Structure 1
Amino acid sequence: MGRRDHYYNKAKQEGYRSRAAYKLKQLDEDAGLFGPGNTVVDLGAAPGGWLEVAAERVGDHGKVVGVDLQRIKDVDAHTVTTIKGDMTVDETKAALKERVGDSGADVVLSDMAPNMTGEYNLDHARSVYLARQAFEVAMELLGTGGDLAVKVFEGQDLKALEDDMKNEFRYVRRIKPDASRDSSSELYLVGKHYLTAPVRSGDEIAVEIIDVGSEGDGIAKVEDFTVFVPETETGETHTVRITDVKPRFAFADVIEKR
């Protein structure tokens, strides 16, 4: 029995709407996407297999929102709601933001794939286009430290999307779940820990040291965001280069004393 039959039959036996449920389970096991009480958005959610898995993983105190152009049959979980609409239009995005709430989503998912033409380069380009749309919508929905998982087909346009995601997340991984078919070129880009900081690694900026922390590093502020600068003292002003960005603070080195 091939893996395709195995996961298809397993989905039928365990009551999931599609074999794709096991891809999400494996992504979660590999990348640690979900936690109890999380708020999850699934873009292109029909037929709803990923909604079922997400609802299981976030528990009774979580929230799962699915959106798709197609109507999604109700999921048997009080934590799941759905929106019928185009995720890229303002009306749908406003509805998503209202469902998600002011704190933002903890996880945004997309298992969308284009209608296949059989011409690989075209199918790849279309998959990257869909993944980029999901990425752009996620930037409006994620809260600080949130995660994104998007499906894409391997090919020449993949690295540009991956690099753009790396600018917005602490790190990005490529994952191919075991439940994906051997013959499929699909993989998932998983961005971990969304950065809402006003700085990025490599930025060179002028800062004033306003305090010294418990570890002895100078503390500067950039739009109320904390930047730690070693070997500096209160009252000094320096040009620094950002070396590492975390969800709630960053580190920098002095490159010019002023």
Structure 2
Amino acid sequence: MPRKDDYYNRAKQQGYRSRAAYKLKQLNETAGLVGPGDTVVDLGAAPGGWLQVAAELAGDGTVVGVDLQRIRPLDGVETVRGDMTDEEARERIREALDGREADVVLSDMAPNVSGEYSLDHARSVHLARMAFETARELLAPGGDFVAKVFDGPDVRDLRRDVEREFDYVREVRPEASRKESSELYLVAKRRLTAPVRAGDELDVEIEDVGSEGDGIAKVEGFTLFVPDAQAGDSVRVRVEDVKPRFAFAERVD
């Protein structure tokens, strides 16, 4: 039996609204995205297969689904009908979150396929970028982001931009994706809220020396470790690696 029939039949038998539910299950097994108590926003959520899985994984957490199409009600899930790029819809999302920041923002959005690959690819990247901008607005520090995109040349630039905002990014192709599909998922873990990004150059004052011998500078209260620097030094550095709570830099003076 072809794989697509297997997932379709399993979805019917297990009460999921779409075979795509198994993609989120597999993504979660791979990357540990949704846990009990999490606040989850699912963009482009109709018909609701991902919402069902997210609600199972989040337990007593909060799950909000957003789509231009109507989403039939689901227990434990709030839905917003509208365009996520519209300010009114975004305000309704914030109201549904009730002051909470999202732990995870998911997007399984895809364009209506035209059959012209370069156009479909470009449209999918555009949707992923819109989801990324929404994630930047809604995600808590350390939160995760997932977006579907059709593979192609524009993925590299999209991934580069996402990498600047998260601890790490990987490309995942779930087994539940159809064999002939070019879709992949960018999985971004642990949103960074640091005031610096890799590649930034700046002048800093070394305030202290850490236990490993690296100089310690502060940028808007954020810790920057600088090798070969002593307390009291004024140095110019280039940021090399950013973590959620600190970063590493190299002297360039």
TM range (shorter): over 0.9
Give deviations 1:126-154, integer Å, cap 9, x for gaps: 11111111111111111111111111111
Partner Cα distance (1:110, 1:204) in 2:
33
What TM-score does the superposition give when structure 2 sets the normalisation length?
0.94
Q: Which residue of 1 aligns with 2:62?
A: 63
Q: Which residue of 2 aligns with 1:217?
A: 214
Partner Cα distance (1:36, 1:206) in 2:
43
Q: Where do 1:163-202 residues align within 5 Å?
A: 163-202=160-199
Q: Which residue of 1 aligns with 2:40?
A: 40
Structure 1: gaps spanning 5 or more residues: none
Determine if contact 2:67/2:83 at 8 Å carries over to the other structure: yes
Task: Kindly indicate whether residue 2 of structure 2 is the aligned counterpart of residue 2 of structure 1.
Answer: yes
Task: Kindly indicate whether residue 140 of structure 2 is the aligned counterpart of residue 143 of structure 1.
Answer: yes
Give deviations 1:57-104, integer Å, cap 9, x for gaps: 1112x111111111111112x2x2111111001122122233335552
Partner Cα distance (1:241, 1:157) in 2:
27
Partner Cα distance (1:102, 1:194) in 2:
19
Task: Kindly indicate whether residue 85 of structure 2 is the aligned counterpart of residue 88 of structure 1.
Answer: yes
Of 108, 111, 116, 1:114 maps to 111
Partner Cα distance (1:122, 1:231) in 2:
50
Identity rate, percent = 66
Determine if contact 2:239/2:250 at 8 Å carries over to the other structure: yes
Partner Cα distance (1:173, 1:101) in 2:
31
Determine if contact 1:41/1:65 at 8 Å carries over to the other structure: yes
Q: Equivalent residue of 1:11, what SS?
A: helix
Q: Which amino acid aligns with 1:32?
A: G
Task: Kindly indicate whether residue 231 of structure 2 is the aligned counterpart of residue 208 of structure 1.
Answer: no
Distance apart, 1:25 and its partner CA: 0.3
Distance apart, 1:214 and its partner CA: 4.1
Q: Which amino acid aligns with 1:24?
A: L
What TM-score does the superposition give when structure 1 sets the normalisation length?
0.93
Q: Equivalent residue of 2:252, what SS?
A: strand
Of 235, 245, 248, 2:245 maps to 248
Determine if contact 1:165/1:172 at 8 Å carries over to the other structure: yes
Superposition misfits of 4+ residues, deviation over 4 angstroms? none
Q: Which amino acid aligns with 2:53?
A: V
Distance apart, 1:242 and its partner CA: 1.1
Partner Cα distance (1:179, 1:49) in 2:
13
Partner Cα distance (2:178, 2:235) in 1:
54
Q: Which amino acid aligns with 1:67?
A: V
Distance apart, 1:157 and its partner CA: 1.8
Q: Which amino acid aligns with 1:41?
A: V
Give deviations 1:25-72, integer Å, cap 9, x for gaps: 001111111122111110011111101101111112x11111111111
Determine if contact 2:41/2:105 at 8 Å carries over to the other structure: yes
Partner Cα distance (2:99, 2:211) in 1:
32
Partner Cα distance (2:146, 2:98) in 1:
20
Determine if contact 1:100/1:141 at 8 Å carries over to the other structure: no
> Relative to structure 2, which stretch is displaced further, 119-128 or 207-216?
207-216
Matched positions, count: 253
Q: Which residue of 2 aligns with 1:75?
A: 74
Q: Which residue of 1 aligns with 2:129?
A: 132
Structure 1 residues 217 and 103: alpha-carbon distance in aligned structure 2, compared to 1, 3 A threshold: farther
Q: Which residue of 1 aligns with 2:16?
A: 16
Partner Cα distance (1:221, 1:10) in 2:
53
Determine if contact 2:206/2:232 at 8 Å carries over to the other structure: yes
Partner Cα distance (1:122, 1:242) in 2:
37
Q: Equivalent residue of 2:146, what SS?
A: strand
Partner Cα distance (1:184, 1:68) in 2:
23
